[in-house]
Amino acid sequence: MRKRNLALVFGLLVSSKFAISADILTATPATHILTSSLVEETSLDVKYLLPARYGVQRLESWLSTKGKDSLYQEAQKATAMVTLKSIWPQDTSFNHARNANIRLIQIDASQSLSHHGGSVAALTNSQGEVSIYSWMNPNNLSRMSKIIADDLVAIWPEHAEKIQANLQTNLIKLRQLTQSQSQILFDKQVESAILLSESLEDFAAGYQLFVEDRLYQPEIDWTSDTYRELKRKLAQDPSLFIITDRKISRELGDQIAAERILQVDSLERMGRLTFDNKSPFQRWVNFSR
């Protein structure tokens, strides 16, 4: 009973700490995970702004309602905010935050300010806009980590040694992640894909998969001809797989063999899985059926 009470007190203290202040604000699960891993074992706190159940595409609607006040309160106490401004100019969260704190520093994880830092490899989606899902391309994760780390060191030089050490650890883990996923695709002999979500375009590009077809409309709008055409294409090409970022529906599971479907976590929302310092990139590892 005493252990339980101590655990409860500790939990309340941790919650209070995050409620009182956060040094760094984030608005996407990917930037939150990368930033949190870089400041591990420092005194810096990272705050994820959106409700866990909200997808990143709901950020603007959240800001237009109660999210605006929440962001205003958090921004007053923060020092920096990590965004993807260069590839996601529609994101107005930093503009709102800066209204509350003119000294707030923006860290654009998609574009380095230094001449040697580089930027992420960006894709243009079907609407002619740059895809915001750059984190689905494994090659971009290392770039984003380096960009964030450089800015964190510039803002908090007293933590430079630890941040740089965390960065090197991250880069090793990210290489291992890429090798692991590449091996899974190789073992399954995946060479081409039918994508069921636009968020997977960056994933396919990162692993050099040929996109045979795209079915972005909701499955409820599919017809018997849709399933028939899928089966025909899969039968013709054993290296062709369906890749989805959604839970596999009963209908799709009944129509298509399990071994021809890959389920990928697109990190659209935080959900129940948050940052784990022991396995910081577990969210990217989770793909298969």
Cβ-count burial 69-107 (b if 16+ within 10 Å, e if not) = eebeebbeebbbbbbbbbbbeebebbebbeebbeebbbb
Shared-domain flag, residues 76 and 172: yes
State the average pLDDT over residues 90-100. Answer: 94
Residue 208 lies in a domain: yes
Q: What is the pLDDT of residues 136-195, one digit of tens each?
A: 999 999 999 999 999 999 999 999 999 999 999 999 999 998 998 999 899 999 999 999
Residue 3 lies in a domain: no
Shared-domain flag, residues 32 and 158: yes
Shared-domain flag, residues 176 and 191: no
State the average pLDDT over residues 112-116. Answer: 78
Residues 102, 78 contacting (CB under 8 angstroms):
no
The residue from 149, 166, 181 where one domain ends is 181
d(CA 67, CA 138) in angstroms, rounded, equals 31
Shared-domain flag, residues 216 and 257: yes
d(CA 154, CA 159) in angstroms, rounded, equals 10
Domain of 94?
11-181
How many other C-beta atoms can be found within 10 angstroms of the C-beta atom of residue 207? 21
Shared-domain flag, residues 102 and 201: no
The yes-or-no verdict on residue 9 having pLDDT over 50 is no
The residue from 181, 211, 227 where one domain ends is 181
Shared-domain flag, residues 19 and 103: yes
Shared-domain flag, residues 211 and 172: no
The yes-or-no verdict on residue 15 having pLDDT over 60 is no
Shared-domain flag, residues 164 and 48: yes
Which of 16-30, 42-56, 186-200 has the least mean pLDDT?
A: 16-30
Shared-domain flag, residues 212 and 144: no
The yes-or-no verdict on residue 288 having pLDDT over 80 is no
Shared-domain flag, residues 134 and 177: yes
Domain total for the chain? 2
Shared-domain flag, residues 104 and 203: no
Residue % of the chain over a pLDDT of 90: 70
User: Residue 258 belongs to a domain with what CATH number?
Assistant: 3.40.50
Model confidence band, residue 99 (pLDDT cutoffs 50, 70, 90): very high
Model confidence band, residue 203 (pLDDT cutoffs 50, 70, 90): very high
d(CA 276, CA 185) in angstroms, rounded, equals 25
The residue from 137, 156, 181 where one domain ends is 181
Tell me what pLDDT residue 286 has: 58
Residue % of the chain over a pLDDT of 70: 86
Residue 64 lies in a domain: yes
Q: What is the pLDDT of residues 219-253, one digit of tens each?
A: 999 999 999 999 999 999 999 999 999 888 889 99
- 3-class secondary-structure state, position 123: coil
Shared-domain flag, residues 31 and 149: yes
Residue 269 lies in a domain: no
State the average pLDDT over residues 92-121. Answer: 91
